[in-house]
Amino acid sequence: MTSLYSNIKVQYNWQPDNSISQANLFPLLRPLICAKGSLTLALSSLSNEDFSVNVLSQVVATPMFHEQIALSQPFSRAAMIREVELKLSDTAVVFARSIIPLELVSSGRNGLANLGRTPLGHLLFKDGNIRVSKRQILQTTIDGVSVAARRTPYDYQGSQILVSEYFLPALKDYL
**Structural domains of the chain, with CATH:** 2-174 (3.40.1410.10)
Under DSSP, the state recorded for 114 is: G
pLDDT of 138 higher than 90: yes
Query: Could you tell me the pTM of the whole model?
Result: 0.91
Residues 165, 152: Cα–Cα separation, whole Å: 8
**76-97, pLDDT tens digit by residue?**
789 999 999 999 999 999 999 9
pLDDT-derived band at 1 (thresholds 50, 70, 90) equals low
35 vs 47, 69, 130, 151, 152, CA distance in Å?
18, 24, 15, 12, 11
**92-137, pLDDT tens digit by residue?**
999 999 999 888 887 666 677 778 888 787 777 776 677 777 899 9
pLDDT of 44 higher than 90: no
